[in-house]
Structure 1
Amino acid sequence: MKGIRYPENADLRQLLRFSDKDGLIWLGEHRMVLLHSAALSELRKELIDSVGAEQARRILTRMGFASGLRDAELARKIRGAGSLVDAFVVGPQLHMLEGCVEVEPVKLDIDGDAGKFYGEFIWRQSWEAEVHVQQFGEVDHPVCWMMIGYASGYTSAFMGRFILFREVECAAMGSGHCRIVGKPAEEWPDAHELTPYFEADSIVGRLLELREEVEAMRQSIACPRRIPNLIGASGGFRSAYELVTKAAATNVSVLLLGETGVGKERFARALHELSPRKDAPFIAVNCAALPDELIESELFGVERGAFTGAHASRAGKFERADGGTLFLDEVGELPLPAQAKLLRVLQEGEIERLGDERIRKINVRLVAATNVDLQDAVAAGRFRRDLYYRLNVYPVTIPPLRERASDIPPLVEAMTARFCSLHAKRVAGITDKAMLALKSHRWPGNVRELENVIERGVILAPQNGWVEVEHLFVGAIPTPASHACIDKSGKLGEQTSGSGGRNLTDAVLDAGISLEALEQDILQRAVQRANGNLAAAARMLGMTRPQLNYRLKKQSAQSGDSAVVD
């Protein structure tokens, strides 16, 4: 397929958005960074000088490969409904838009169904060839390593199989331009010499493994038994975790404080797992979920015949937790009679079942939790002062998620993996823009709310695709910020990011849609969204039901449709 002409790149230019107010550059939902080519030149030189040309080539190739993978996702998303060629050339067009090189197609034979691919392109103005010559002069081998990695990564992701590009001409070798050829790896007779550059290097990989092992040893010294369900590295998280680890070796009662959803039960379980009681039971009780008349029997047990309905003797939560840990969540909701009995248990280490006079000794570590201010409850007479002082011996405050934004990325990573496994789903990850939205959210529901949002995102994201902002905040996407987009002349113009950064009016005009056709489409879509409810559709459009009915009848008459709209 020769004589390829690029489609108009307005759809791609509008993906690239600049926001000088918050210092962010976006390509779709992925964050970009503008760097001086001189800085990249220094990086290349430093890599070559420190680890050698072969290792440097491998590192840069893999960097480019990763970048190409990301852009291939955009290609499918932006032009997936069009021709295969128009969708594929998103890669070369984006490579140019990103300032890497001018790409001239020479030949492109592509068959998605059969998995066949052959591509040949000329590169002009290659930044890699230019900076390499500046640093090392002309050489006898191709040097556009990162860009070859990009072409291979992009095409491999686009085709769903490994497509290997190689540079058959390079401007750094004295040619007037670079020329690249790509085809399936098995069609290259010397593929075994090239594929190692796309694989993790044994030396560099081993160095990274050693660094991870050293870091793991350091962490094991600081936190000998880090609990997998507790994830975080922020100052507030570490402070709470250190208090829990110090209390674990003792028998002190612990009071966990914090807003709803911060993970108080997970900290309680961590305390239990880190303690000598780890092999004994951990019993959790939500005091707010128990009716007042059942709280005492649930906590302390009941003897047969103690009250109507007590047909058998039953041990309470304290007895079941004997030797282990009892977690009382929402302890501030306990009624005053139950508070008096709880105080006696803490002071004497013994209980009496309802309807029984026998004293039973117990050995239980109590962990209590609340999201209310117990001091205010004491002042209001809703909570016993003596019990408050008994529980408040060792308070641990767990900070809300909005105060530990640095913990959100590792939490999101762990939650995404868990929900992918739970729902038999594979996703590529969270886009940069989605992660920024997560870190900017106030999280009134804290970690519990984050879990719900991530689970929804995993479910709504396409298979093997990325979790984007609209998958997370359904119906409540954060307010669009003002961005600058690039026009045909390369100048920046103010636009909002409401529809991927594109001005709606310009988009309609560029599409060549008539005003009547646009109105018809909008009205029909509103009715569809409202499931045929005209009153709801009218509210959606900001008009009255009679006004909508009139417009629909008018459209019906113009189209010759005999259907009557009610």
Structure 2
Amino acid sequence: MNEKTGNTDLTKHVRFEPDKGRIWLEDQRMVLLHSSGLGVMRRELIETLGTQAARGLITRIGYNSGARDAELARRLRGSKTAEEAVSAGPELHMIEGIVRVEAVRVEVDEQAGHFYGEYIWHGSVEGEEHVRAYGTGHAPACWMQVGYASGFISVFMGAPVFMREVECCAKGDPHCRIVGKPVDEWDDAEADLQYLRADAVTSGLSRSRPGALPDVAEQTGSSLGGIEVVGASAGFNAACHMVRRVANTQATVIFLGESGVGKEVLARGLHAASDRRDQPFVAINCAAIPDNLIEAELFGVEKGAFTGAQSGRPGRFERADGGTLFLDEIGILSWTAQGKLLRALQAREIERVGDTRVRQVDVRVVAATNLDLREQVRQGAFREDLYFRLNVFPIRVPPLRERKEDIPIFMNFFLKRFNERHGRSVRGFTWDAINTLMTHDYPGNIRELENMIERGSILAEDGGAIDTAQLFAGDSPNAALEGPTDTRTPPARHAAIHEAVNALLDQGEGSWTLLEQQLLRRAVELEDGNLSAAARRLGLSRPQLAYRLERKPAG
């Protein structure tokens, strides 16, 4: 963006509430921070963590901020072209007092997955504070700003884009200059991309990289639909940190989260990062095994134990001896199976069905569930003693709607995967498809996104781009969240809305803010006070709804 370009459409969304101690940029809460305070924080992090770790943390903070601002800009400029919408990033960076941005060259073709951006930063607060603390050095220092630009552009492009600082005032250059393009187009970005990876368990933005965990690449199943653990959001990074901390212990781990969030992939990552990595990883979905067979599957069966048992066979515990046993959907185990599992965890020994011989096993148990086990215990559906035995080291895996910064990474990841699998050459996504994917609520989480992109890659033309209609193929974008179907035709629905609007205007029923408040409160009332459900009904996020509810009608 050229510095002469106006940004009044964005500045009007800045609002101060000094009586409440709050500053808002639309519905995002902001803070005013002394630049010297930013400098002190940077120096403390560098001195405490070391330069490399501090740079990574600061870069990821910037990436998160850029992704959040991209969501805001998408709402405010979503109807404009991709290039116009992308310009909101530099404008917001200036409004937030970080730097003055001058666009040198910007090329945007979202349908072809092409982006090239070159910008000059004037008066970088981050560079100035770094020089104040350390003097002029030999390396670029605008880490948070690079992360911000990468996160912002990635969300808009629907694919991971990396911005590199090629000139910096902290190196003695007259100004800072950044160049950005899709991650896959960089030949030498590995050293820089490592700062967007919170942990070695994850591949961060990229699909593959030298030194990636081989076991993850070879074994990862369908929970993420791919062959590596990828992501850059704060929630995902927090889960990866927890995985790394517990990996080389013998502690029992339980992954908590909705269906389709990638619990099995992280379990495999945990195994690959542990000292059991060369031993078996055995997975079983407890929900897929009938109640009368689950014990035989877990503990094995002795010959003649029941009709059809013509020979003895080991169960999953024995097959996982020395390695890791992953118990998915553990919350549905029968009461009897829960008791035997508890004994296996406590005594590290099992008995096959129909046998009296006790067998010692050395197995690390990793479990996963999408149920609230505490509630299951209260209802008498899950053993309390087993719950406490499993709940040694819980790791929550956030749903995709809480980690939207990861959506562009998955979009790129899955598009490449299905192009290879199905022999296609789909190049990217239309602007409308990117908007749809970034704002969809994903009740099915990553698995739903995977299915949508596979469907789109099949329906789109070779050499073309995936459009919204090809993502859903007859399904409504919010089909999983909709209530009873409205049987009226679209013209009839539009006519009814038009009639209601005319009636309100004819009667002069108050200001827009008052009408908005009535609409919001009615939605909350219909959902019995559940703000998340009311927000989905209105097509808003929960923070957006909460922000609008707090605003007082004018007059």
TM-score, structure 2 length as denominator? 0.51
Alpha-carbon distance, 1:460 to partner: 0.7
1:429 matches 2:438: no
8 Å contact kept, 1:302–1:355: yes
Q: Secondary structure at the match of 1:280?
A: coil
8 Å contact kept, 2:302–2:311: yes
Closer, same or farther: CA 34–291 of 1 in aligned 2, 3 Å? closer
Closer, same or farther: CA 300–243 of 1 in aligned 2, 3 Å? same
8 Å contact kept, 2:301–2:352: yes
1:32 matches 2:84: yes
Q: What do the CA deviations read for 1:342-396 (whole angstroms, capped 9, x no partner)?
A: 0011001111111111111111110111111111111111111000000001000
Closer, same or farther: CA 71–361 of 1 in aligned 2, 3 Å? closer
Alpha-carbon distance, 1:71 to partner: 13
8 Å contact kept, 1:225–1:274: no
The residue that corresponds to 1:256 in the other structure is 255
Closer, same or farther: CA 230–68 of 1 in aligned 2, 3 Å? closer
8 Å contact kept, 1:31–1:432: no
Q: Which amino acid aligns with 1:23?
A: R
The residue that corresponds to 1:392 in the other structure is 391
Q: Which amino acid aligns with 1:32?
A: E
Q: Which amino acid aligns with 2:371?
A: V
Give me the whole-angstrom Cα distance separating, in 2, the residues matched to 1:215 and 1:240.
22
Larger radius of gyration: 1
8 Å contact kept, 1:328–1:367: yes
Alpha-carbon distance, 1:225 to partner: 6.8
Closer, same or farther: CA 70–339 of 1 in aligned 2, 3 Å? closer
The residue that corresponds to 1:23 in the other structure is 77
Q: Secondary structure at the match of 2:458?
A: helix
8 Å contact kept, 2:197–2:232: no
Which has the higher mean CA deviation after the structures are superposed, 302-311 or 389-398?
302-311
The residue that corresponds to 2:277 in the other structure is 278
Q: Secondary structure at the match of 1:232?
A: coil
The residue that corresponds to 1:348 in the other structure is 347
The residue that corresponds to 2:470 in the other structure is 471
Q: What do the CA deviations read for 1:58-117 (whole angstroms, capped 9, x no partner)?
A: x85xx55x6599699xxxxxxxxxxxxxxxxxxxxxxxxxxxxxxxxxxxxxxxxxxxxx
Percent identity between matched residues is: 47
Alpha-carbon distance, 1:476 to partner: 3.9
Closer, same or farther: CA 387–463 of 1 in aligned 2, 3 Å? same
The residue that corresponds to 1:157 in the other structure is none
Q: What do the CA deviations read for 1:532-560 (whole angstroms, capped 9, x no partner)?
A: xxxxxxxxxxxxxxxxxxxxxxxxxxxxx
8 Å contact kept, 1:31–1:433: no
Q: Secondary structure at the match of 2:241?
A: helix
- 1:142-541 matched pairs, under 5 angstroms: 209-210=187-188, 212-218=189-195, 222-223=199-200, 226=203, 229-476=228-475
8 Å contact kept, 1:469–1:477: no
Closer, same or farther: CA 293–34 of 1 in aligned 2, 3 Å? closer
Q: Secondary structure at the match of 2:282?
A: strand
Give me the whole-angstrom Cα distance separating, in 1, the residues matched to 2:314 and 2:373.
29
Give me the whole-angstrom Cα distance separating, in 1, the residues matched to 2:344 and 2:435.
48
8 Å contact kept, 1:427–1:466: yes
Give me the whole-angstrom Cα distance separating, in 2, the residues matched to 1:384 and 1:232.
35
8 Å contact kept, 2:74–2:435: no
8 Å contact kept, 1:400–1:446: yes
Alpha-carbon distance, 1:474 to partner: 2.2
Gaps of 5+ in 1: 1-18, 40-49, 51-55, 73-200, 480-497, 499-566
Matched length: 306
8 Å contact kept, 2:111–2:464: no
Alpha-carbon distance, 1:218 to partner: 4.4
Q: Which amino acid aligns with 1:241?
A: C
Alpha-carbon distance, 1:25 to partner: 3.9
Closer, same or farther: CA 255–67 of 1 in aligned 2, 3 Å? closer
Closer, same or farther: CA 238–354 of 1 in aligned 2, 3 Å? same
Alpha-carbon distance, 1:437 to partner: 0.7
Give me the whole-angstrom Cα distance separating, in 1, the residues matched to 2:301 and 2:76.
62
Closer, same or farther: CA 67–313 of 1 in aligned 2, 3 Å? closer
Closer, same or farther: CA 359–423 of 1 in aligned 2, 3 Å? same
8 Å contact kept, 1:458–1:467: yes
Q: What do the CA deviations read for 1:242-278 (whole angstroms, capped 9, x no partner)?
A: 1111111111110110011111111111111111111
Q: What do the CA deviations read for 1:18-61 (whole angstroms, capped 9, x no partner)?
A: x997323444xx5534979xx9xxxxxxxxxx9xxxxx9xx85x
Q: Which amino acid aligns with 1:458?
A: S
Give me the whole-angstrom Cα distance separating, in 1, the residues matched to 2:280 and 2:387.
25
Give me the whole-angstrom Cα distance separating, in 1, the residues matched to 2:394 and 2:256.
7
8 Å contact kept, 1:331–1:368: yes
The residue that corresponds to 2:513 in the other structure is none
RMSD: 3.3
Q: Which amino acid aligns with 2:190?
A: E
Q: Which amino acid aligns with 2:76?
A: D
Q: Secondary structure at the match of 2:76?
A: coil
Closer, same or farther: CA 208–478 of 1 in aligned 2, 3 Å? closer
Give me the whole-angstrom Cα distance separating, in 1, the residues matched to 2:285 and 2:275.
24
Closer, same or farther: CA 451–217 of 1 in aligned 2, 3 Å? closer
Q: Which amino acid aligns with 1:24?
A: G
Closer, same or farther: CA 473–390 of 1 in aligned 2, 3 Å? same
Closer, same or farther: CA 20–335 of 1 in aligned 2, 3 Å? closer
8 Å contact kept, 1:262–1:400: yes
Closer, same or farther: CA 69–404 of 1 in aligned 2, 3 Å? closer
8 Å contact kept, 1:232–1:410: yes
8 Å contact kept, 1:277–1:324: yes
Closer, same or farther: CA 463–337 of 1 in aligned 2, 3 Å? same
Give me the whole-angstrom Cα distance separating, in 2, the residues matched to 1:304 and 1:237.
46
8 Å contact kept, 2:258–2:399: yes
Closer, same or farther: CA 240–336 of 1 in aligned 2, 3 Å? same
8 Å contact kept, 1:461–1:471: yes
The residue that corresponds to 1:163 in the other structure is none
Q: Secondary structure at the match of 1:450?
A: helix
Closer, same or farther: CA 21–232 of 1 in aligned 2, 3 Å? closer
Alpha-carbon distance, 1:477 to partner: 5.2
8 Å contact kept, 1:281–1:322: yes
Give me the whole-angstrom Cα distance separating, in 2, the residues matched to 1:367 and 1:378.
19
Alpha-carbon distance, 1:221 to partner: 8.6
Alpha-carbon distance, 1:307 to partner: 1.4
The residue that corresponds to 1:168 in the other structure is none
Give me the whole-angstrom Cα distance separating, in 1, the residues matched to 2:74 and 2:394.
44
Q: Which amino acid aligns with 2:84?
A: M
Alpha-carbon distance, 1:281 to partner: 1.1
Give me the whole-angstrom Cα distance separating, in 2, the residues matched to 1:387 and 1:310.
29
Which has the higher mean CA deviation after the structures are superposed, 285-294 or 213-222?
213-222
